[in-house]
Amino acid sequence: MLIDRFGRRVTYLRLSVTDRCDFRCVYCMAEDMTFLPRAQVLSIEEMARIARVFVELGVRKIRLTGGEPLVRRGLVDLASQLGNLAGLDELCMTTNGGRLAEFASSLAAAGVKRINVSLDSLDEDRFRQLTRTGQLAQVLAGIETARAAGFQRIKLNAVILRGRNDDEVSDLVRFALERRLDISFIEEMPLGVISEHSRHEAFCSSEEVRGLLAPAFPLEPIADDSGGPSRYYRVPGHESRIGFISPHSENFCAACNRVRLTAEGRLLLCLGNEHSVDLRAVVRAHPEDDAPLRRAIVEAMTVKPERHHFDLQSEPQILRFMNATGG
Ligand code: SAM
Ligand code: SF4
């Protein structure tokens, strides 16, 4: 029902429940950040309403993201409202894991089926450097609690930066295999202006990561499709999937099935472009009538761009940071 100009069907909504976060990952944020005033952020009720209309229009998968979803008050309530939506096949969440030990079982009870946890390093000091404020022990405890809570597949996400954590890729894979977790390696994207490192110099392609893994892990490509941009491999004898998200080196836009709703209700049609539609204005102007919202979402499909163009050499074209985008 939601089909764009290029014939792509939109079935996946990434819902950013907040732009705030308790970490300050060096690739995602600047050290000093200004967050949205609360009045500009959608309420839990507004998010639930917009999500329900997306599902009525054919969306089958929703991912709660941010910012850090677990710092948003009312998140479990939102998850249980979405978990009960008829027609939604999959409710998932991406988290930094810092508060997962506290929330994992309520999220599972609310109907969250799958969880992605970001984990860029297994070394405490380095983890602190990369996240600026994160504590590795809390994230590892969160992963263990999530394993015990019975999520279908837990996936780790690791952004790999040259000279920072590229020497850890084998350790991260070993960590995942031993716990039967999936893991995806992500190429850093130039979203927002950062000064902590040069995105160009830190760039580490998926191909390089596969090369670093090759001596220890023979990777066999597999055809699994999780509905996202990861390309998957397996290590013989293990269940875990090893994924690569390669926005630079292996463009995946032709198969794009997703849109993003920012915490302030801006429907972003593409991660790497600014085309968007203000759904907050529509829900606030029509609190009782869903028809204008439905129309705005359907019409938004006509402005979904064909693809992103990332250029690491020049200044970022996209000034919003990943936390504001809903990564
Ligand atoms: N706070 C949660 C977390 O960290 O998992 C959810 C939001 S975060 C923006 C979602 C994912 O985007 C994380 O896996 C993070 O590593 C990734 N990410 C953030 N900034 C990025 C960037 N500039 N390029 C590539 N991935 C990025
Ligand atoms: Fe926070 Fe996630 Fe961004 Fe890290 S990647 S600063 S945890 S939103």
Work out the average pLDDT over 20-41.
93
232 Cα to the center of ligand 2, angstroms: 24
More confident residue, 25 or 253: 25
Residue 309, judged by CB atoms within 10 A of its CB (0-12, 13-18, 19+), counts as exposed
**Beta carbon of 322 within 6 Å of any ligand 1 atom:** yes
Whole-number Å distance between alpha carbons of 172 and 130: 15
pLDDT at 250: 73
| In the predicted structure, residue 129 carries a pLDDT above the cut 70 | yes
What pLDDT was estimated at residue 47? Answer: 98
Strands 114-118 and 90-95: parallel
Mean pLDDT, the chain, as a whole number? 92
For residues 125 and 189, the model is more confident at 125
Pocket of ligand 2 (CB under 6 A): 21, 23-25, 28-29, 66-68, 96, 118, 322-323
Predicted confidence (pLDDT) at residue 236 exceeds the cutoff of 80: yes
Atom number, ligand 2, closest to the C-alpha of residue 98: 7
Ligand 1 pocket, 191 CB below 6 A?
A: yes
**What local confidence, expressed as pLDDT, does residue 320 receive?**
66
In this prediction, residue 251 carries a pLDDT of 72
Determine the pLDDT at residue 246.
Answer: 86
By the 8 A CB rule, do 69 and 75 touch?
A: yes
Distance of alpha carbon 149 from the chain centroid: 21
224 vs 212, higher pLDDT: 212
pLDDT reported for residue 304: 87
Which is higher by pLDDT, 281 or 257? Answer: 281
pLDDT of residue 316 exceeding 80: no
Mutate to test the pocket of ligand 1, among 20, 25, 204, 323 (most ligand atoms within 8 A of CB): 25
Mean pLDDT of 255-262: 92
Looking at residue 76, its pLDDT comes to 98
% of the chain beyond a pLDDT of 90: 77
Residue 193: predicted pLDDT: 83
Instruction: With cut-offs at 50, 70 and 90, classify the pLDDT of residue 60.
Output: very high
pLDDT at residue 202 tops 70: yes
Report the C-alpha gap between 207 and 214 in whole angstroms: 10
- Residue 319 has a pLDDT of 67
Report CA(296)–ligand 1 centroid distance (Å): 28
Regarding the beta carbon of 323 and ligand 1, being less than 6 Å apart is answered yes
Contacts of 173 (CB under 8 A, 6+ apart): 183, 213, 216, 217, 235, 240, 242
Q: In testing the pocket of ligand 1, which one of 94, 161, 312 has its CB within 8 Å of the most ligand atoms?
A: 94
Q: CB-based contacts of 305: which residues, under 8 Å, 6+ apart? A: 269, 270, 273, 275
Mean pLDDT of 244-273: 87
Report the CATH number that the domain containing residue 49 is assigned in CATH: 3.20.20.70
**Domain extent at residue 180:** 2-324
Of 25, 100, 136, the one to substitute when testing ligand 2's pocket (max ligand atoms within 8 A of C-beta) is: 25
CA dihedral 56, 57, 59, 60 (to 10 degrees): 50
Q: Is the CB of 19 under 6 A from ligand 1?
A: no
What's the pLDDT score for residue 195? 84
**Is the C-beta atom of 27 inside 6 A of ligand 1?**
yes
Measure 56 CA to ligand 2 centroid, in angstroms: 30
Confidence of residue 314 (pLDDT cuts 50, 70, 90): low
What are the structure tokens assigned to 249, written together? 């080196």
Q: Name the pTM for this structure.
A: 0.94
Q: What is the distance between the alpha carbons of residues 217 and 34, in angstroms, rounded to a whole number?
A: 42
Q: Taking the alpha carbons of 156, 161, 162, 163 in that order, is the dihedral positive or negative? A: negative
CA of 285 to the centre of ligand 1 (A): 32
Q: Is the pLDDT of residue 274 over 70?
A: yes
- 321 vs 278, higher pLDDT: 278
How many domains does one find in the chain?
Answer: 1
Is the Cβ atom of 119 under 6 angstroms away from ligand 1?
A: no
Which numbered ligand comes closest to the C-alpha of 31? 2
- pLDDT class of 307 with cuts at 50, 70, 90: confident
- Ligand sitting nearest the alpha carbon of 156: 1
CA of 290 to the centre of ligand 1 (A): 32
> Quick one: pLDDT at residue 216?
95
Helices 169-178 and 206-213, axial angle in degrees (round to 10): 70
pLDDT the model gives residue 315: 62
High-pLDDT (> 70) share of the chain, %: 94
pLDDT of residue 41: 96
Which of 59-73, 172-186, 271-285 has the weakest average pLDDT? 271-285
263 lines ligand 1 (CB under 6 A): no
